[in-house]
């Protein structure tokens, strides 16, 4: 496992350990010691996955304090364009965004710290995106920002969106009451 710092403070791309042999593929997506060496003390409380059609956009999601959480995201099948924006007022990368492709081919994960909103565009039908998070889901703290208000070019005209994601507040509205 190798950790690559990104342009966003505290966000890491992880090249996961993997082996391909006559049986198939083995990928290690988490090793506590490797994370602790970088002072990334994530304690996984929940794991879940989504299956998305091509051109689905999910996001930009996060939970509010005190239920905010770190996320470890990877794609065991298919491919996504993973997009993040830093909402932490005291961060050196506040309001900056980044994107990276995560796929079954590159076998990468991304570590997302508290206060960074997460979303993605599915690049292939039936893409599976797997999430490990450090807090349990809390419906009153679960929220997001409208995907098309963060200044990122998603390179799509008519994405497939949930009603919930369509109704998220715009970034400028969120900034007026930013709890991070």
131 part of the active site: yes
Which DSSP state fits 145? B
Alpha helix segments (H runs only) across the chain: 32-37, 163-166, 171-175
126 contacts 51 by C-beta, under 8 angstroms = yes
Among 69, 97, 118, 131, the active-site one is 131
Both tokens of residue 40? 């990334």
* Catalytic residue from among 61, 69, 118, 146: 61
Contact 15, 100 (CB under 8 A): no
**Structure tokens, 20:** 């391909």
Q: Which residues carry out catalysis?
A: 61, 131
């Amino acid at each position: 496992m190798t950790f690559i710092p990104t342009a966003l403070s505290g966000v890491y791309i992880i090249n996961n350990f993997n082996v391909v042999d006559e049986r198939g593929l083995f990928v290690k997506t988490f090793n506590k010691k490797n994370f602790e060496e970088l002072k990334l003390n994530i304690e996984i409380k929940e794991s879940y996955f989504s299956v998305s059609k091509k051109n689905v956009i999910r996001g930009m999601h996060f939970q509010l304090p005190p239920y905010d959480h770190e996320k470890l995201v990877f794609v065991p099948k298919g491919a996504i364009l993973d997009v993040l924006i830093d909402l932490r007022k005291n961060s050196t990368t506040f309001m900056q965004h980044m994107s990276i492709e995560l796929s079954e081919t590159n076998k990468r994960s991304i570590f997302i710290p508290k206060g960074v909103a997460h979303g993605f565009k599915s690049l292939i039908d039936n893409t599976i995106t797997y999430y490990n998070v450090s807090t349990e889901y809390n419906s009153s703290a679960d929220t997001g920002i409208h995907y098309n208000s963060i200044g990122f070019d998603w390179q799509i005209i008519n994405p497939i969106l949930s009603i919930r994601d369509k109704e998220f507040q715009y970034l400028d509205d969120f900034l007026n009451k930013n709890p991070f």
